[in-house]
Amino acid sequence: MRMAWKRIGRVLAAALLLLAGCDSATEPERPLRVVFVGNSLTTLHDMPAMVRAMSEAAGRGRPLEVRSVAWNGMSLRDHWEDSGTQLALTREGPWDVVFLQESALVSEQGQAYLREHVRLFAGKTSGRVALMMPWPPRPAREYFDDVHRAFRRVATETGATFVPAGEVWREAMRRDPALDLYDPGGGHPNGTGSHAAARAVL
């Protein structure tokens, strides 16, 4: 993995750096509290833990407190109807940033569903809501543009912050065609792919 990241390090300079923008010199003691609401794209290789570890390695003045509310196969609709997710958002809050992870959706119906649930979650928190752009499965890599447009459009329309994890993937693979970020099944990330998604956050 280390050699792979040496090859694509320059790509990551174009990532969002969302959490860096949340640092506050006036509140060095209070942790920045973030929660990831997602599915297996989030849980595999524990991407939220990667975010925390990379933040610590970067030596940020403000500590990062990370919570993951993610289970395999969960959609945002499932999370909205799940009491465990609701308790995490309310009783364990407030959160500074709520990251929403959904599978790749591109149809108008899929965007309408995504728009509805981003707005529902935004109404549940006083913090910033961030929508993570996923990546299409390996057999559907030609749909990167469609996934990008769909998720950026929904983020713009709902006021959510757009996190271009899928774009970090695409640019890395464009620069190095031998680099593979998919697991053998072709839908989930391998360890390097999860690392790329985490770097889009930081």
Tens of pLDDT, residue by residue over 46-105, are 999 999 999 888 876 678 999 999 999 999 999 999 999 999 999 998 999 999 999 999
Say if CB 169 and CB 135 are below 8 A apart.
yes
Say if CB 39 and CB 103 are below 8 A apart.
yes
For residue 65 the two structure tokens come to 């407190």
- pLDDT on residue 39: 96
- pLDDT on residue 62: 75
- pLDDT on residue 11: 44
Local structure of residue 12 (DSSP, 8 states): G
Question: Which amino acid type is present at position 119?
Answer: R
Of the chain, the percentage scoring pLDDT greater than 70 comes to 85
Q: Could you tell me which residues come within 8 angstroms of residue 148 by beta carbon, excluding any fewer than 6 positions away?
A: 133, 164, 166, 167
CB-based burial label for 138 (10 Å; 0-12, 13-18, 19+): middle
- pLDDT on residue 46: 96
Higher pLDDT, 7 or 113: 113
- pLDDT on residue 10: 43
The arithmetic mean of pLDDT across residues 37-41, rounded, is: 97
- pLDDT on residue 28: 55
- pLDDT on residue 15: 40
Distance CA 26, CA 82 (A): 36
* 3-class DSSP assignment, residue 34: strand
Per-residue three-class SS string for 42-107 = HHCCCHHHHHHHHHHHCCCCCCEEEEEEECCCCCHHHHHCCHHHHHHHHCCCCCCEEEEECCCCCC
* 3-class DSSP assignment, residue 183: coil
159 dihedral zone (left: phi>0; alpha: psi -120 to 50; beta): left
- pLDDT exceeds 60 at position 6: no
Distance CA 103, CA 93 (A): 25
Q: How many residues appear in the chain?
A: 202
